[in-house]
Amino acid sequence: MILSIIGIILGTIAIGLFIWLKNDQKMSNDLHEAELQHTHQGMKAIMDDFNNYQVTTDRKIAELEKQLEIQNKSQDKKFEKHLKELPFIIGRVVGQIEFSQDIINRK
């Protein structure tokens, strides 16, 4: 009789402990699931930020390349203009030198 009462009490304690451990494990699993979801959301936010950064950087690079091309064309035009004017400038300098030589030789 006493052994059966002890058996019933131990069985009840074992069942209560099993239920408590099951609920504790469920709560732990829920907490881990919530943490995993937050981690997933954080990773997705980082990925979105990185994608936005890449897009912004690509736009800036394209704009800089465009500006560089415009500046190169402008410099090329200035260089071409100077090349066209160079013979005239050389002629004017040579003329001034010859004129100076004439003035020096007359003295």
Query: Phi and psi dihedrals of 61, rounded to 5?
Result: -60, -45
Distance in angstroms between the alpha carbons of the first and the last residue of the chain: 150
The sign one gets for the Cα dihedral 49, 55, 58, 62 is negative
Structure confidence at residue 69 (pLDDT): 96
Query: Residue 73, SS3?
Result: helix
Q: What is the value of pTM for the model shown? A: 0.51
Per-residue pLDDT in tens (0 to 9) along the chain, 107 residues: 888 899 999 999 999 999 999 999 999 999 999 999 999 999 999 999 999 999 999 999 999 999 999 999 999 999 898 888 888 888 888 877 776 766 666 66
